[in-house]
Structure 1
Amino acid sequence: MTAEVRVLSATGMLGSGFLESSLERGVALAPHVIAADAGSTDGGPAYLGSGTPFFSREATARDLRLMLRARARLGVPMIVGSCGFGGGDAGVDWTRDIVLAIAREEGMRFRLALIRSEQDRDYLKRRLREGRILPLHPAPPLDEGVIERSAHIVGAMGHEPIVAALEAGAEVVLAGRATDTSLFAAVPLMRGAGAGPAWHAAKTLECGTAAVVQRKRPDCLFAWVREDHFDVAPCDPEMRCTPQSVASHTLYENADPFLVTEPSGVIDTTEAAYEALDARSVRVRGSRFRPSGQVTIKLEGAELAGYQSVIVAGVREPYILRQLDAWLGGMQARFAERAREAFGFGPGPGGYDLRIRVYGRDGVMGRLEPRAGELGHEVCLLITVTAARQETARAVAKSFAHFALHYPIPEWGGLISGLAFPFTPAEMDRGPVYRFTLHHVVRPDDPLEMFRTEMLEV
């Protein structure tokens, strides 16, 4: 067993950047692995559904180049997970192409593992019929039709496929959708660190400097993982970790402050103790990992919901603000009549979906807004029109913008212009829009069976 496993988290998300000086400080600490997460569901379903990346090629290549150079100097593995943000096959291929271009330019040679997490539809249908796909709360209804019409479906791998690739000789691993923690737990577990400290350290490292006090920018975080504890510190000397900042990170993207569910078990921080080693670093003891005995792989899917046009408008007229809901409700009802006259269809299937968010009142939280009754002197309306074709969405949006602009109120006897448009034309095309289709887990026979690994000599 290795007495200590050192892990360098390059950044909270590949492409978001980090200081070169921080990376150099991390390299000087001789890590056994460099890793970075590259994706999430945080940005919504568009990236998985469309297969397009979140960050630009330039920003992603900059981070990868520096990480690959550091890996070559150290001779240690480099791991990137959830490539391309959505983690589908297109994201893995996109990241692979960037890595291959950098390797050619830099004259690098290494063994590259590509682990794909996009799922076979026939496999998922079979598992569904077997009762081995279970919903997570809240989950949309699932049947074989949902599986078939989803543009892309991925499974969030645990550490096992990554460990298998490293044991097969991979020096650089580009993985599809993966749990953030699995990227950072793989090497410590391989090298014999305690499971509790390894997984809890991984949870702390996953978002880079999100675990520091008042993070000023994405940057590198470093952990020393041992049998019964781990230490963690930021690589930028101007940042600092405290017991509170590290402990609070178990709440990030997690419903329970003490229990974090992974494919193979649960990270239990109930008895974890956090101790300040100095002004910038923290030691954590008492973390445990409880194996579940049954691997569960979370499924994420997205389907095309239609094509969308958007209108942004401001309202400052006090008479309108006093009756805003009635005004907007009447406007949409009357416009449905106008749409049937002009287009031969109204709202609903085969027609259009029109939604209005009121920013300045409840645009962010909707029905959950506790101060929705408070209204300032102006509001912003974000109006979306979604239809099966972009041309239809645009046509409806154009008509609605003009219709809404002059929609009357009882207090006004003549023509009214109640909206202020900041842009011309008022409507803007967003193109295809997506919605999530799955929030479920699969119970496979083996933690590797849902993932495909390809080895390349670079």
Structure 2
Amino acid sequence: MLKELKILTPIGMLGYSYNKETFWKSIEGGVDAIILDSGSTDSGPSKLALRKSIQTNEAYEKDLEEIVAACHHYRIPVMIGSAGGDGSTRGVNQIADIVLSIIEGRGYRPMKVIKILAEIEKDIVRDKHRHGLVHPCGIAVPDLVEEDIDQAQTIVAQMGIEPWIKAMNEYPDFDIIIGGRSYDPSPYAAFCTWKGFVDLGLSYHMGKIMECGGICTTPKSREALATIRHDSFDITPLDPKSTCTSVSVAAHTLYEKTRPDILVGPGGTLDLHLTTYEEMDDGRSVRVRGAKFIPVKENEYTIKLEAGKLNGFFSVFMGGFRDTVLISQIDTFLEGMKTYVKDKINFPFDINVQLFGRDAVMGVLEPDSGRTNHELGILLRARAETQEQATHVSQSARVYCMHAPYPGQRATAGNFAMPCAPLDIPMGPVSEFCMYHLMMISDPCEFFPIIATILDGPNTTPQRDSIESGFQTTTNSHKQAHVKPDIANTASASSQPTKTTDTKSNSNMSVLKEVPPAGYSFLADLASVIRSKNAGPYEITFDVMFSTAKARDIVKRANILTVETISRLYNVPVTDVITCLWWDSAIAFKATIKRPIVSGSFHDGDSHGSAQHMPLMSLPIPVEKLDI
């Protein structure tokens, strides 16, 4: 029985680029697998609805070149989940075609490339739905209706570990497995299980951290190495400027999750209440123990369905207002614009307006650079049934914004700056999520077909020497001793996040560049991290993390971070606050709310959900003293 496995994740998302030198030093040190993720719903529904990746083939090829080379020279197995961004058959084939072209083009040895597909036919979903076997994934998701199924452009399902294990059992000499939509940690947990590491609590927890690469490090980085044993696993950053701390690793289960303690996936639930995080003597690694996997009851196995639909077309225009007379009455002016367009257009349409502002209108001519509230940028989106109609709506709204009169007007040549030509830009179809639901199944492998391609590569490429390529010449077998990667001995970053204020300073000025009320401190000055992020398309989650337990306790004693406060700060009903809790393992607070507008929908202004943190930043907290 193997005592440990070493798993390398060079980047948290295929196509985002990683450090090649760091990658090859890790390969030289000896790894048992290269596993990485390629998919997400973070960027909205367009991948599913439009059937195309956000990343370019060039970006994928750049990342895959080194990975396939390592597979060729060292025979290190490679596993890629949620291929192509959405994990559709199109996405799997896209990544597979790039891999095959690299093998042929570089003259690599014959390789066995396995594909696991994850698209689900509409008739299957429709039948399951009619039998009451499809339910919303969380309280923020509406019930599925037949129209959603009919309009879905692509339906994918998140596979668990079972299809991955089946593929490895059927093709134990595989080189590369390219999987369709997968629960993010599934390839990691599957490989560990296949190699005899049967504690799913450990392997799933490790996978949940590693699928984001080095984002659990401080400062966050790209590459990470996991060493899993039968009773624990270690996470080690590979960037010499980064380190892992017990807090930074524990905090990762906060990231883009509804809650940090209970993580639900296909086949069961990961319970993290008893996890421990131990900083190792190397000053960079953290050892994790204690996660527990609770399997579902028999006949209760579910997979999550994801789908996008098209809902009309949209066009946009962009510009900027600099006239303070107009800005002072901008709401009334824009309401007049909507009335003008409504009177002018005789077909159904929709308009969304977003206002931004700072020094964009006058640029280098701006005499008041840095002054707030002196200009506004406008992004207007117009939606209609056809592209031509959407552009007509955009043009009508733009003409009003450009030339409509307003009280106190002095400038009669035009009201705002237009930086783009063409002025009205056709953007194509509007994408929306229409499925984020759990479907009950009897066989975890039933809907995930496995296809093997044995590519008879020419095997003409020479063995590259370590001076030229950055890695040592070896035989075509990677069975080496597990040696720790030769990472430069440079000073590590601080093991704790940097405080945002100097509490011993005589100044009361906040990091927000404001002075808090007497006896109060803004939350931004007590916390080291305050962030927002999607927790799936239907939720936004907020993480507040502290450098010390003392700082946390000041806020905790104030009893201000409550359901009622989150409801007030984000203008949502109390019933839409899904999670509100303290997570002491990461010295952190977590809150999750139902999204008022689903990610990527026409009226959504932040599809990633990562710019919603400011209400928490400026929350006043009563303080006794700031010796933290």
TM over 0.5: yes
Q: CA deviation at 1:191?
A: 1.8
1-side partners of 2:26 and 2:349: how far apart? Answer: 53
How many aligned positions are there?
435
1:187 aligns with 2:191: yes
1:198 aligns with 2:195: no
**What secondary structure sits across from 2:273 in the alignment?**
coil
Match of 2:42 in 1: 42
**What secondary structure sits across from 1:445 in the alignment?**
coil
Q: Larger Cα Rg: Structure 1 or Structure 2? A: 2
Q: CA deviation at 1:384?
A: 0.3
Q: Once the two structures are aligned, what percentage of the paired residues are identical?
A: 32
1-side partners of 2:67 and 2:217: how far apart? Answer: 22
2-side partners of 1:204 and 1:414: how far apart? Answer: 57
Residues 162-217 of structure 1 show CA distances to partners (whole Å, capped at 9, x for unaligned) of: 1111111133111111111112211112222222211111111001111111225x
Unaligned 5+ segments in structure 1 are: 346-350, 362-373
The correspondence for 1:321, drawn from 319, 327, 337, is 327
Q: CA deviation at 1:152?
A: 0.7
Residues 391-440 of structure 1 show CA distances to partners (whole Å, capped at 9, x for unaligned) of: 22112212221122122223338847322211233211212221110111
1:57 aligns with 2:61: no
Match of 2:136 in 1: 135
- Note the 1:13-32 alignment, pairs <5 A: 13-32=13-32
The correspondence for 1:281, drawn from 281, 285, 290, is 285
Match of 2:343 in 1: 337
- Note the 1:57-456 alignment, pairs <5 A: 57-106=57-106, 107-136=108-137, 137-169=139-171, 170-193=174-197, 194-216=199-221, 219-277=222-280, 278-293=282-297, 294-339=300-345, 344-345=346-347, 351-360=348-357, 376-412=373-409, 415=412, 417-456=414-453
Check conservation: 1:232, 1:282, Cα contact below 8 A: yes
1-side partners of 2:204 and 2:155: how far apart? Answer: 26
**What secondary structure sits across from 1:52 in the alignment?**
coil
2-side partners of 1:288 and 1:310: how far apart? Answer: 49
2-side partners of 1:285 and 1:429: how far apart? Answer: 53
Q: CA deviation at 1:142?
A: 1.8
Q: CA deviation at 1:247?
A: 0.9
**What secondary structure sits across from 1:260 in the alignment?**
strand
Q: Please tell me the residue identity of whatever aligns with 1:129.
A: R
Check conservation: 2:357, 2:377, Cα contact below 8 A: yes
Q: Please tell me the residue identity of whatever aligns with 1:120.
A: E
Change (3 A) 1:269 1:415: same
Q: CA deviation at 1:448?
A: 0.9
Q: CA deviation at 1:55?
A: 1.4
Check conservation: 1:25, 1:235, Cα contact below 8 A: no
Unaligned 5+ segments in structure 2 are: 359-370, 456-628
Q: Please tell me the residue identity of whatever aligns with 1:338.
A: K
1-side partners of 2:416 and 2:143: how far apart? Answer: 39
Check conservation: 2:11, 2:213, Cα contact below 8 A: yes
Q: CA deviation at 1:100?
A: 1.0
Check conservation: 1:154, 1:301, Cα contact below 8 A: yes
2-side partners of 1:379 and 1:269: how far apart? Answer: 46
1-side partners of 2:343 and 2:2: how far apart? Answer: 73
Q: Please tell me the residue identity of whatever aligns with 1:175.
A: G
Q: CA deviation at 1:248?
A: 0.9
After TM superposition, what 4+ stretches of structure 1 lie above 6 angstroms from structure 2? Answer: none
Match of 2:11 in 1: 11
**What secondary structure sits across from 2:113 in the alignment?**
strand
Structure 1 window deviating more from structure 2 (40-49 vs 314-323): it is 314-323
Check conservation: 1:140, 1:438, Cα contact below 8 A: no
Check conservation: 2:319, 2:418, Cα contact below 8 A: yes
Q: Please tell me the residue identity of whatever aligns with 1:402.
A: V
Q: Please tell me the residue identity of whatever aligns with 2:179.
A: A
CA RMSD of aligned residues (A): 1.8
Check conservation: 2:313, 2:383, Cα contact below 8 A: yes
Change (3 A) 1:416 1:188: same
Change (3 A) 1:443 1:375: farther
**What secondary structure sits across from 1:84 in the alignment?**
strand
